[in-house]
Amino acid sequence: MKRLLPLLIFFTFPPLTLLAQELPQGYFASPLKGDIGLSATFAECRIGHFHGGLDMRTGGAVDRPVYAVADGYISRVSISPWGGGKILYIRHPNSYTSVYMHLNGFAGETGRLVREEQYSQQSFSIVKDFNEGQLPVRKGQLVAYSGNTGGSGGPHLHFELRKTNTGHTINPLRFGLPYHDSMKPTIRGLKIYTINNKQTIDVTDNNTLTVNSPFYIGVYATDAAEGSTPKNGTDHIEVLLDGDLFFLYTTESFNLDSSRVVNALVDYPLFAAKRQAYILTRALPGAEGDWIPVRQGDGIFRLAPGTTHKIQIRAYDIKDNYTERTLTVTMSNNGIAASDFNTMESGDYVDYTHAVTIRRPAFSAEMPAYTLYANDLMHCAFKEDSRYYSPLCTIEPSINAIPPHQHYKLNLRGKIPTGISTGNVTLVRIDGKRVVAYKTTYSDGIFSASVRDFGTFALTCDTVPPKVSLTNYKEGKPLKARVLKIKISDDLAGIETYNCYLNGSWILAEYDAKSATLFIDTQGKLRAGQNELRVEVADGCGNLTRRTFTISR
């Protein structure tokens, strides 16, 4: 890492490559038997976060045994229909915690305790902490079964190694897990973004070009490995200017709490549209976090007029295989100086380090400090639309089209038709054909929601209760399947609560949000003859559906 020394380092964090040497090598085993194949690498860019661990392939199937990666004790189990689904945490005595997500189930005593907790709380979703001594585990002990629960896009095991006291997640492959990768990364795209006239130049095919403005570079690279899927993330990216390191993007470790800054490190509009993560060399001052790229200055190339320079772009995988592209860039003599704001842009000026409230007759937006990543001009617009109880209110930044870093409060005024209760009114964002509802509160003629998006908002109502239907059972016939499936859906506000009662007693129904299905394991629960199953599902506006089915055994 000698090359780092002459650089102006923006933020004071030690070069993270030093970290690898301090990590215990060989202490942790793989949580799965056999060679490690990945369907996603550590710190891959996702919308709104970096991927916090490894996605380990499980051969397209669920219920593969998952083993404790080292001695320790099970410290927590959490279950949710979203996100990581069924999650197991093991705390190890060497200050690390291993985390296993999207599980199908928990082995032995853990499974029994989890079920007991669900019945005691009468809830599928739980978070349960365990003390040291309650559920000790040995390295290699069966602890769970892999699955596809929560927001998983196919069967796999999501595996993390976190520093227990700080919540930092670290690439598990840095601990010497057995992993083969002899295949070089692929640089799939390079873009040059000019500052003055905001041009984006695709340099995928040409290696020699002339620019007339300061610029920054975007790099889109992926990596493949033996047994892995072909478009996983790279480990690090270097950009060199005339042989000196200009930009270094590393992915060894990051704090899970600040991972939303990913939106500001990539070309966000392109990423949102095409899921191609062009990592940008330019810095936005509010996107620091504690895991940040290292740059010269603000990551903008300011080359002297009439000069020609060599720019090398290298994408590395974790085994240091790399691919390089070399550009020859000439700054023309009539280069234009960069200005912060284009004269065409207008709006409310926001200093991102200060809290600000943007007020218009129909709405206000109360943005805390650091909602944006840089100073910007907020653009507001209104349009009457008879389908809604308020005008369509648009609020978005003019300069950096990136979602807010944190929640802000949006307040809308509207005309609510007589007969509609304010409790059924909901604030929504209109995103093309998609309408997204927010948890909405009402006070003094104003409807408010905490939102973490920019875009077009309006008021509407949800008076339609959720739909509930049995999908694998016809009433009047004996039940053949062990697991009863119930489809539940809501048109707008979304499912808020779901409870099932068999012959009057609460029964566990596992909710899978992505398939909109409740699963009830009936084994040992049904009595001979007829059983009454009551299903109660409510949406976020309090509309309740209560249906009773007769199940015959």
**Contact positions toward Zn ion, by CB under 5 A?**
55, 158
State which residue, 99 or 211, has the beta carbon closest to Zn ion.
99
State which residue, 234 or 424, has the beta carbon closest to Zn ion.
234
Can you point out the beta strands (E) in 80-164?
86-91, 96-103, 105-106, 126-129, 136-137, 142-145, 156-163
State which residue, 158 or 168, has the beta carbon closest to Zn ion.
158
**From the CB of 57, what's the least distance to Zn ion, in Å?**
11
What is the side-by-side strand order in the sheet with 510-512? Answer: 467-470, 483-489, 517-521, 510-512
State which residue, 50 or 352, has the beta carbon closest to Zn ion.
50
- Burial pattern 253-270, b for ≥16 Cβ within 10 A else e, equals bbbeebbbbbbbbbbbeb
State which residue, 232 or 426, has the beta carbon closest to Zn ion.
232
Distance of CA 202 to the CA centre of its chain: 28
State which residue, 52 or 335, has the beta carbon closest to Zn ion.
52
**From the CB of 86, what's the least distance to Zn ion, in Å?**
14
State which residue, 53 or 404, has the beta carbon closest to Zn ion.
53
**From the CB of 227, what's the least distance to Zn ion, in Å?**
17
**From the CB of 156, what's the least distance to Zn ion, in Å?**
7
DSSP string covering 272-290: HHH----EESS--TT--SS
Sequence-separated (6 or more) residues with CB below 8 Å from residue 190 = 202, 203, 204, 217, 218, 219, 220, 313, 325, 327
**From the CB of 44, what's the least distance to Zn ion, in Å?**
9
**From the CB of 41, what's the least distance to Zn ion, in Å?**
10
**From the CB of 152, what's the least distance to Zn ion, in Å?**
8
Report the C-alpha gap between 45 and 65 in whole angstroms: 28
What is the side-by-side strand order in the sheet with 236-241? Answer: 208-211, 322-331, 308-316, 236-241, 244-250, 294-295
Do β-strands 186-194 and 142-145 pair in parallel, antiparallel, or remain unpaired? unpaired
State which residue, 55 or 223, has the beta carbon closest to Zn ion.
55
Distance of CA 312 to the CA centre of its chain: 31
What distances in angstroms separate CA 463 from CA 361, 458, 540, one per listed residue?
27, 16, 10
DSSP class of 514 = G
- Alpha carbons within 13 A on the beta-carbon side of 84: 21
Cβ atoms of residues 146 and 32 within 8 Å = yes
**From the CB of 396, what's the least distance to Zn ion, in Å?**
30
Cβ atoms of residues 33 and 65 within 8 Å = yes
**From the CB of 389, what's the least distance to Zn ion, in Å?**
40
DSSP class of 196 = S
**From the CB of 32, what's the least distance to Zn ion, in Å?**
14
State which residue, 69 or 135, has the beta carbon closest to Zn ion.
69
Tokens of 31: 């949580």
Instruction: Please name which of 89, 110, 109 lies closest in space to residue 100, comparing C-alpha atoms.
Output: 89
Nearest residue to the partner Zn ion, using Cβ: 158
State which residue, 55 or 252, has the beta carbon closest to Zn ion.
55
**408 strand-pairing partners:** 451
